Amino acid sequence: MSLEGLRESCLGCLACDLSQRRRNVVFGEGNPNSPLVLVGEGPGDEEDKTGRPFVGRSGQMLDRALADIGLDRTNVYICNTVKCRAADWSSGKPQNRPPTPLEVETCRQWLVPQLATIKPMLILCIGAPSAKNLIQKNFKITVERGKLFPSEYARASMATLHPSYILRQQNISGDGGYSLLVADIKKAWDTAVALREKYGSG
């Protein structure tokens, strides 16, 4: 199926409970011919509202990190582990929460064919849930970020810190890991470009 066909089907997905309260499915966007795909955790409030990935505070940090190395969103493809917002509604007001293992597993029916259609050279997982889903179950983000791993879905994979984690660390001190995010994206991009040169675009 084409990426657009896959998106059309995904927009109607009712396969897990996250479908119940979502306003929009956030399928993904960007350049499907890019050698680099970024895979985040899942939509937050702004993403749920707009149907676009990484458009809230985390997205602003991601845009800045891309710009720091001379890239923008048109150079890469961006999507998420789950396509609908995961939130806890028990207080009446939705609080973002990580997707459950069942939600992650169920949403692989979209993520796996999405990656199979794009066939990126390198997948950069943004944050631990994405790395646990796509690299290995016991992935340790603080020690294994920035390292290259083999992948079923690309020539290589890597993970970096999630901007929401960096934002929390910045409340405690300093750059909170922002410089690591920039360095990891640069390594991911340079590696993806080198792999494309080596293997061609297929």
- Residue (14 or 172) nearer to ligand SF4, CB: 14
Q: By Cβ distance, which residue is nearest to ligand URA?
A: 40
Q: Please say whether the beta carbons of 56 and 144 come within 8 A.
A: no
Interface mask toward ligand SF4 for 76-105; x: CB under 6 A: ------xxx------------------x--
In whole angstroms, the minimum distance from the beta carbon of 101 to ligand URA comes to: 17
Burial bucket for residue 143 (CB in 10 Å: 0-12, 13-18, 19+): exposed
Q: Which of ligand URA, ligand SF4, none lies near 129, with the C-beta cut-off 5 to 8 A by kind?
A: none
Residue 16 contacts ligand SF4 per CB under 6 A: yes
The count of C-alpha atoms lying within 13 angstroms of the C-alpha of 162, restricted to the half-sphere facing its C-beta, is 20
Residue with tokens 């990656």: 115
User: Binder to ligand URA among 13, 34, 37, 40 (CB under 6 A)?
Assistant: 40
Residue ranges of alpha helices (H) inside 22-139 are 45-50, 57-68, 101-118, 128-134
Q: Is 107 in the site for ligand SF4 (CB under 6 A)?
A: yes
